[in-house]
Amino acid sequence: MQIDMKQPILDKNDTLAAELRKRFAENHVFVLDLLASPGSGKTSTILATIDALRDEFNIAVIEGDIASSVDAEKIKAQGTSAVQINTGGACHLESAMVKRAVDVLDLERLDLIIIENVGNLVCPTDFDLGENAKVMILSVPEGDDKPLKYPGVFQVAQAVVLNKVDTMPVFDFNREAFEASVRQLNPQAPIFPIAATKGDGVEAWANWLAERIRAV
Amino acid sequence: MQIDMKQPILDKNDTLAAELRKRFAENHVFVLDLLASPGSGKTSTILATIDALRDEFNIAVIEGDIASSVDAEKIKAQGTSAVQINTGGACHLESAMVKRAVDVLDLERLDLIIIENVGNLVCPTDFDLGENAKVMILSVPEGDDKPLKYPGVFQVAQAVVLNKVDTMPVFDFNREAFEASVRQLNPQAPIFPIAATKGDGVEAWANWLAERIRAV
């Protein structure tokens, strides 16, 4: 007999995610679940996004990492609330972990929570965290063939941020081929080319996000 | 009651891995399990490694990907046997998958099998595939803080390949800080700085590997 061990875990996760989603909606908080490989620039993108949106919105960040709190420290240094979750080995965040972080935030005061998931293009894809949108970042140095090799994350993303576009001349990245394979997996998702550490392209991405925050 | 669902999966995996390890030893094949993030240059490193070692050793590659066969095609184009495993969503290779790939290879004829694991710094760490050594690649664009955030993979690696060192001027990568944190997690593992697509530094890494292949 084969026992499906993934299903009960997902069921339990999804029940709690639905409760979180209800709490977020009641408090008019937009929640973004950010997925990417290690080192694609999630934290830099979050810092640039906060810079672009902080005048209009109250923002908090939930940092998911296997170990360390270096990312939460970077966010706090910018004057934004950040809660660090250490998964202690787990390769993705689950809604129970997010709930513990949310419990220490003042939801009534917030407009936007950005969840930085564990750097992993595979496992976080399956886990509903009660978010309004999953968005993924791919960075140019990772290569244009990633949609072919990690299709799931490109399919669940409501938008694709292409980071480190300033390094395009250094890497052999075929942007047309990349965009064509994203289109094939996910015709609706906009692609935002940015260079997070330099601020290039952040405005268009931040505007897309701001529209959605205002709507909740 | 808490049921540990990871343990029985690992036990089953490890039993099969032990059988594989025995087969590899009987046939004097050295097996390398290569771990890295998506886009860190695993396939380029494999191509450069084959180039450096093909005169002395018979080599085959097992390519692990969630989907696609682009990597196996690249290896075959270089004239080396490659078997593609598509995990169909799974975030790591398991020994049962490797066994199916090994069954189509002529072990008697081979000296080295390189297993390119799924691009993931977390999950493959826990899975014994019967290999002689796990080696990890980190690429410079991913950042020098990765040992702090993904300690497990740095701990299991018998060597650390630091790829894309030619892009060091473009990225804010602190090599001393990186090496110090690797040392803390894993004092024994040598660190090999390379630029796989240009061949820089490949000789030292290939020599390290060649010594181990000759010893089995």
pLDDT in tens, chain B (216 residues): 445 556 777 789 999 999 999 999 999 999 999 999 999 999 999 999 999 999 999 999 999 999 999 999 999 999 999 999 999 889 999 999 999 999 999 999 999 999 999 999 999 999 999 999 999 999 999 999 999 999 999 999 999 999 999 999 999 899 999 999 999 999 999 999 999 999 999 999 999 999 999 999
Count CB atoms within 10 A of the CB of residue B61: 29
Using CA coordinates, name the residue in chain A closest to B120: A120
Distance to chain B for A166, nearest Cα, Å: 10
DSSP for A44-75? HHHHHHHHHHTTT--EEEEEEESS--HHHHHH
3-state secondary structure of B18: helix
Mean pLDDT computed over A128-137: 98
Bridge partners (DSSP) listed for residue A172: none
pLDDT of amino acid A10 = 78
DSSP state of B194: -
Using a CB-CB distance cutoff of 8 angstroms, which residues of chain A are in contact with residue B71? 149
Contact A40, A141 (CB under 8 A): no
Give all strands (DSSP E) within B112-185, no chain letters.
112-116, 133-139, 159-163
Phi-psi region of B63 (alpha: psi -120 to 50; beta: other; left: phi over 0): beta
Supply the pTM of this predicted model. Answer: 0.92
User: Within its chain, how far is the Cα of A2 from the centroid?
Assistant: 34
Contact B37 A119 (CB under 8 A): yes
Nearest 10 degrees: Cα torsion B11, B13, B15, B17: -140
Nearest to B118 among A39, A122, A164 (CB): A122
CB-count exposure of residue B35 (10 Å: 0-12, 13-18, 19+) = buried
CA distance A146 to A40: 12
Contact B122, A66 (CB under 8 A): yes
CA distance A160 to A137: 6
Residue A145 corresponds to which tokens in the numbers above? Answer: 């063939």
pLDDT of amino acid B9 = 75
pLDDT of amino acid B1 = 43
pLDDT of amino acid B2 = 47
Contact B120 A91 (CB under 8 A): yes
Contact B91 A139 (CB under 8 A): no
Contact B148 A122 (CB under 8 A): no
Contact A132, A22 (CB under 8 A): no
pLDDT of amino acid A6 = 64
CA atoms in the 13 A half-sphere facing the CB of A205: 28
Work out how many CB contacts closer than 8 A connect A with B.
Answer: 112
Q: What is the mean pLDDT of chain A?
A: 95
Using CA coordinates, name the residue in chain A closest to B8: A5
CA distance B115 to B103: 14
Note the ipTM here.
0.89
Nearest to A91 among B37, B38, B123 (CB): B123
Using CA coordinates, name the residue in chain B closest to A173: B39
CA distance B172 to B87: 35
CA distances from A161 to A34, B1, B44, B74, B95 (A): 10, 42, 25, 27, 35
| Low-confidence winner among A55-64, A85-94, A186-195 (lowest mean pLDDT) | A85-94
Count CB atoms within 10 A of the CB of residue B22: 11
CA distance B101 to B116: 12
Nearest to A66 among B39, B40, B149 (CB): B149
Contact B66 A38 (CB under 8 A): no
Q: What sign does the CA torsion over B150, B46, A151, A43 have?
A: positive
Mean pLDDT computed over A86-109: 95
Nearest to B146 among A39, A141, A149 (CB): A39
Distance to chain B for A211, nearest Cα, Å: 31
Q: Which amino acid is at A37?
A: S
Using a CB-CB distance cutoff of 8 angstroms, which residues of chain A are in contact with residue B123? 91, 120, 122-123
Q: Using alpha carbons only, how large is chain B's radius of gyration in Å? A: 17
Distance to chain B for A109, nearest Cα, Å: 30
CA distance A154 to A207: 21
Q: What sign does the CA torsion over A100, A104, A109, A114 have?
A: negative
- Give the whole-number percent of chain A exceeding pLDDT 90: 94
